[in-house]
């Protein structure tokens, strides 16, 4: 039986891209939340957490309304990139982002808040700019926890199902990710294929788990 | 030279009584010690100067640079202040070696100078051997010296130390004092040091500011303050005095003399300017200024009989605690042959008594 490995590569690509974007965006939001006091901080904090508590299908529905071809955002995307966003693999990245960004913001903020503040103060009295301070002191001190969070976000992105199915669809060879392919295989009676895919995903998840526990135990 | 006028108020809150800091002082070359009990506002003074805390009003001037001016809404960032700060936990960067810690701080120096400067500081603070190790791999004394070297390497205009000897064992404390004396001798940087340890004030301080409840209550050289505490409050804070309630019975400015009634006894004292006959005062005298003798018949002039309650052995003397709350420090040799005696007389030196 020839196995179509496309869903695995697609899932990995989606997870890598969404984790990289989530790292950049999540770290920035986490830094602001950990270091600045501003009006509406609680609102931002709640908004970041919301995707974690919403059911995936509800999230998918909102995204479809927000990014569909008829929506203003969807139109802007289509104008810039020449093709619609929904029902492409890029939509799967967006769906994954809504779960990986909150995870990264939460964990990175905790990591940034738990490092020794006097080290940051010391760097300031030594004349280090906020930029130098962040890259050379804050980030190195928090990097283990942030890496662990990124690994978890990666795993979460790899398995994203509900919202992905709704806004990226289930187009074999185009938008069919691992999680969707497993569902599809089982539905159409290819139980051996489903089992194989399940085992592969489980192995990757276990590898990530052992990686994060090793990071955190140091 | 640092000149600081700092005012900051924290209004009372649900779970705190509120606090107000209102200090005005200047400190020049040498070591100036900010002494006071915890909660007096010492660390807040330091943090205001370093730029971590923004005062409500006032003005902070370091040499000819304005660090803070409430009226002009000027508040320089910690980065722009050029103040070295030695934190209580040293705050060395744990992911960098000692050399990297110094190099990080040397980056505001010209590029060509950095390497030489780092080596020079490593050598001066005896860290050359351990320069390649991380902070958790070196001894407490090395961490301490590294944090002081790091604070000094950029050539700060002022060095701030926040309770540097807090929680150190005796050998490390001695080492710290040695290092700081070396810093005072080798660098022209004025030092502002926060402590609540009176020994430390004497060990290190050229000048001393006594802080209490957010105010500077007295300033001067440490021995001067110990000899002449300005108020009862200062004497209590220093914790090194007998404070005995008394009543002035007579005052004689011509002979520079007075009679004081303590309990049911009367003793001679000096003339107290500004006091009136009948005033109730607190006599302030240090335990080592008093003498105790075994009681032998009637007490002589300026002696008050007292029963010994407790003798506490100290490394240098014996601290005798008498009924009535008077304490006397005797040399060990003087006390040893008489350790069984309970009834004593305390001899008051008339000229050394102060009334607060």
Nearest to B79 among A119, A129, A140 (CB): A129
Instruction: Work out whether the CA dihedral B187, B188, B193, B198 comes out positive or negative.
Output: positive
CB contacts < 8 A (A, B): 60
Contacts of A153 (CB under 8 A, 6+ apart): A18, A19, A22, A23, A26, A99, A100, A101, A103, A104
| Residue-number span of the structural domain to which A140 is assigned | 6-217
Measured CA to CA, the distance from residue B132 to residue B121 in angstroms comes to 14
Mean pLDDT (chain B) is 91
pLDDT for B333 beyond 60: yes
With bands split at pLDDT 50, 70 and 90, how would you rate the model's confidence at B56? very high
pLDDT for A218 beyond 70: no
pLDDT attached to residue B296: 85
pLDDT attached to residue B2: 93
Q: Is residue A180 part of a domain?
A: yes
Q: In total, how many domains does chain B have?
A: 2
Phi (first) and psi of residue B25, to 5 degrees: -155, 165
Q: Are residues B196 and B63 in the same domain?
A: yes
Query: Which residues 62-121 on chain B approach chain A with CB closer than 8 angstroms?
Result: 77-79, 81-85, 87-89, 91-95, 104-105, 107-108
Measured CA to CA, the distance from residue B273 to residue B352 in angstroms comes to 14
Q: Are residues B140 and B260 in the same domain?
A: no
| Residue-number span of the structural domain to which B297 is assigned | 241-355
Q: Are residues B173 and B290 in the same domain?
A: no
pLDDT attached to residue B239: 84
* pLDDT tens sequence across B130-165: 999 999 999 999 999 999 999 999 999 999 999 998
Nearest chain A Cα distance for residue B352, angstroms:
46
Q: Are residues B24 and B111 in the same domain?
A: yes
The three-state (H, E, C) secondary structure of chain B, written as one string: CEEEEEEEEECCCCCCCCEEEEEEEEECCCEEEEECCCCCCHHHHHHHHHCCCCCCEEEEEECCEEEEECCCCEECCHHHCCEEEECCCCCCCCCCCHHHHHHHHHCCCCHHHHHHHHHHHHHHCCCCCCCCCCHHHCCHHHHHHHHHHHHHHCCCCEEEEECCCCCCCHHHHHHHHHHHHHHHHHCCCCEEEEECCHHHHHHHCCEEEEEECCEEEEEECHHHHHHCCCCHHHHHHHCCCEEEEEEEEEEECCCCEEEEEECCEEEEECCCCCCCCCCEEEEEECHHHCEEEECCCCCCCCEEEEEEEEEEECCCCEEEEECCCCEEEECHHHHHHHCCCCEEEEECCHHHCEEC
With bands split at pLDDT 50, 70 and 90, how would you rate the model's confidence at B95? very high
Q: Is residue A139 part of a domain?
A: yes
Q: Are residues B152 and B280 in the same domain?
A: no
pLDDT attached to residue A2: 67
Closest residue in B to A136 (Cα) is B104
Q: Is residue A1 part of a domain?
A: no
Write out chain B residues lying below 8 Å of A121, CB-based: 50, 52, 78, 85, 87, 91
With bands split at pLDDT 50, 70 and 90, how would you rate the model's confidence at B218? very high
pLDDT for B82 beyond 70: yes
pLDDT attached to residue B38: 86
Q: Are residues B44 and B140 in the same domain?
A: yes
Q: Is A167 exposed, middle or buried (0-12, 13-18, 19+ CB in 10 A)?
A: buried
Measured CA to CA, the distance from residue A72 to residue A114 in angstroms comes to 41
Write out chain B residues lying below 8 Å of A119, CB-based: 91-94
Domain end point (choices B236, B255, B280): B236
pLDDT for A1 beyond 60: no
pLDDT attached to residue B217: 92
ipTM over 0.90: no
Bridge partner list, B329: B319
pLDDT for B81 beyond 70: yes
Q: Are residues B227 and B250 in the same domain?
A: no
Q: Is residue A125 part of a domain?
A: yes
Nearest chain A Cα distance for residue B48, angstroms:
12
With bands split at pLDDT 50, 70 and 90, how would you rate the model's confidence at A70? confident
Pairing of strands B191-195, B158-162: parallel
- Token pair 């030594």 is at which residue? A126
Phi-psi label, residue A206: left if phi above 0, alpha if psi -120 to 50, beta otherwise: alpha
Contact A166, A63 (CB under 8 A): yes
Domain end point (choices B236, B255, B270): B236
pLDDT attached to residue B12: 84
Write out chain B residues lying below 8 Å of A124, CB-based: 51, 77-79
Contact A107, A145 (CB under 8 A): yes
Output the domain CATH number for residue A99: 1.10.3720.10
- A124, B150: Cβ pair inside 8 Å? no
* pLDDT tens sequence across A7-53: 999 999 999 999 999 999 999 999 999 988 899 999 999 999 899 89
Write out chain B residues lying below 8 Å of A137, CB-based: 93
- A124, B77: Cβ pair inside 8 Å? yes
Closest residue in B to A142 (Cα) is B95
Q: Is residue A70 part of a domain?
A: yes
Tokens of B67: 């660090």
Output the domain CATH number for residue B346: 2.40.50.100
Q: In total, how many domains does chain A have?
A: 1
CB atoms within 10 A of CB B341: 13
Q: Are residues B215 and B249 in the same domain?
A: no
With bands split at pLDDT 50, 70 and 90, how would you rate the model's confidence at B225? very high
For range B12-39, the mean pLDDT: 88
pLDDT attached to residue B205: 92
Output the domain CATH number for residue B94: 3.40.50.300
Q: Are residues B133 and B91 in the same domain?
A: yes
Q: Are residues B126 and B217 in the same domain?
A: yes
pLDDT for B187 beyond 70: yes
Domain end point (choices B221, B236, B251): B236
pLDDT attached to residue B91: 94
Q: Is residue A151 part of a domain?
A: yes
* pLDDT tens sequence across B96-119: 999 999 999 999 888 889 999 999
Q: Are residues B268 and B336 in the same domain?
A: yes
Q: Are residues B167 and B114 in the same domain?
A: yes
């Amino acid at each position: 039986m020839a196995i179509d490995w496309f869903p695995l590569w697609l899932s990995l690509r989606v997870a890598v891209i969404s984790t990289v974007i989530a790292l950049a965006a999540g770290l920035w939001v986490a830094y602001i939340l950990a270091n600045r006091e501003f009006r509406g901080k609680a609102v931002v904090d709640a908004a970041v957490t919301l995707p974690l508590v919403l059911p995936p299908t509800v999230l998918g529905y909102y995204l479809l309304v927000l990014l569909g071809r008829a929506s203003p955002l969807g139109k802007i995307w289509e104008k810039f990139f020449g093709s619609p966003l929904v029902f492409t693999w890029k939509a799967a990245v967006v769906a994954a982002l809504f779960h990986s960004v909150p995870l990264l913001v939460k964990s990175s903020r905790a990591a940034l808040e738990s490092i020794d503040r006097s080290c940051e103060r010391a760097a300031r009295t030594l004349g280090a700019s906020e930029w130098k301070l962040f890259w050379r002191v804050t980030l190195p001190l928090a990097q283990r926890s942030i890496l662990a969070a990124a690994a978890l976000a990666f795993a979460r992105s790899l398995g994203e199902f509900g919202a992905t199915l709704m806004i990226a669809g289930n187009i074999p060879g185009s938008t069919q990710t691992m999680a969707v392919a497993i569902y599809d295989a089982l539905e159409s009676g290819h139980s051996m294929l489903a089992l194989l895919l399940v085992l592969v995903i489980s192995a990757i998840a276990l590898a990530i788990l052992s990686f994060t526990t090793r990071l955190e135990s140091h | 030279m640092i000149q600081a006028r700092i005012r900051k108020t924290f209004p009372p809150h649900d779970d705190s009584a509120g606090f107000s800091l209102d200090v005005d002082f200047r400190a020049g070359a040498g070591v100036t010690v900010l002494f006071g009990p915890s909660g007096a506002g010492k660390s807040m003074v330091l943090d205001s100067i370093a730029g971590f805390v923004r005062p409500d009003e006032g003005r902070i001037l370091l040499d000819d640079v304005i660090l803070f001016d409430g009226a002009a809404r000027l508040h320089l960032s910690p980065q722009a202040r050029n103040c070295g700060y030695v934190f209580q936990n040293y705050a060395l960067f744990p992911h960098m070696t000692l050399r990297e810690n110094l190099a990080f701080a040397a980056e505001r120096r010209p590029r060509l100078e950095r390497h030489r400067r780092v080596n020079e500081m490593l050598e001066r603070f005896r860290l050359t051997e351990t320069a390649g190790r991380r902070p958790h791999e070196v001894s407490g004394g090395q961490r301490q010296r590294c944090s002081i070297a790091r604070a000094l390497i950029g050539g700060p205009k002022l060095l701030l130390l926040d309770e540097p000897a807090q929680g150190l064992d005796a050998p490390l404390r001695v080492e710290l004092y040695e290092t700081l004396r070396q810093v005072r001798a080798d660098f022209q940087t004025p030092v502002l040091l926060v402590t609540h340890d009176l020994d430390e004030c004497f060990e290190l301080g050229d000048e001393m500011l006594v802080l209490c409840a957010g105010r500077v209550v007295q300033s001067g050289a440490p021995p001067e303050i110990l000899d002449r505490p300005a108020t009862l409050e200062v004497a209590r804070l220093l914790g090194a005095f007998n404070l005995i309630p008394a009543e002035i019975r007579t005052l004689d400015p011509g002979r520079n003399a007075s009679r004081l009634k303590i309990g049911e006894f009367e003793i001679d004292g000096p003339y107290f300017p500004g006091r009136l006959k009948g005033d109730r005062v607190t006599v302030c005298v240090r335990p080592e200024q008093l003498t105790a003798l075994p009681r032998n018949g009637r007490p002589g002039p300026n002696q008050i009989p007292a029963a010994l309650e407790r003798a506490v052995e100290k490394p240098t003397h014996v601290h005798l605690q008498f009924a009535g709350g008077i304490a006397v420090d005797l040399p060990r040799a003087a006390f040893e042959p008489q350790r069984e005696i309970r009834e004593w007389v305390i001899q008051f030196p008339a000229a050394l008594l102060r009334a607060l």
